Amino acid sequence: MSVTNAWLTLIALSIGSTILAHFGAAGIFASLAILTLAWIKAQVILRVYLGLQNAPSWGRGFGMVLAIYMIGIMGLAVAAS
């Protein structure tokens, strides 16, 4: 993915999560959707902006740690609902 495509993806995902929250999407499914969009954005920054798409093994490692972290955050969001 090029840096410009990554930027467009990040803009679209950011607007998507803001719209989701702004127009009253509430409840656990909205929270999980918002966190999933944040997860994808973080992956795009790691892979494209920080260049981990050119270092697949490091990309997988960072992706795995991020996945564990985001699942933990999602678990806490579910517990708070």
Partner 1 sequence: MKDATKQTPAEGIDALPGDLMMWILIVSELLVFGAGLAAFMGVRLTDPAGFSEAQTHLNATTAGINTVVLVTSGWLAALAVQASEMGNILRTRLFLAAASILGVVFLVIKGAEYADKSAQGIDFETHSFFLFYYMLTGFHAMHVIAGIVILALVSWKVTPRNTEVGAAFWHMVDLVWVLLFPIMYLL
CA triple 47-53-57, angle to 5 deg: 105
For the bound state, the minimum distance from the C-beta of residue 73 to partner 1, rounded and expressed in Å, comes to: 6
Q: For partner 1, what does the binding mask look like between residues 3 and 22, x meaning CB under 8 A? A: xx-xx--xx--xx-xx-xxx
Instruction: Find, among 72, 79, 81, 80, the residue nearest to 35 by Cα.
Output: 72
* Encoded tokens for 1: 């993915």
Cβ at position 80, least distance to partner 1 in Å: 5
Q: Which of 28, 24, 10 is nearest to 74 (CA)?
A: 28
Binding site for partner 1 (CB under 8 A): 3-4, 6-7, 10-11, 14-15, 17-18, 20-22, 31, 34-35, 37-38, 41-42, 45-46, 48-52, 54-55, 57-58, 69, 72-73, 76-77, 79-81
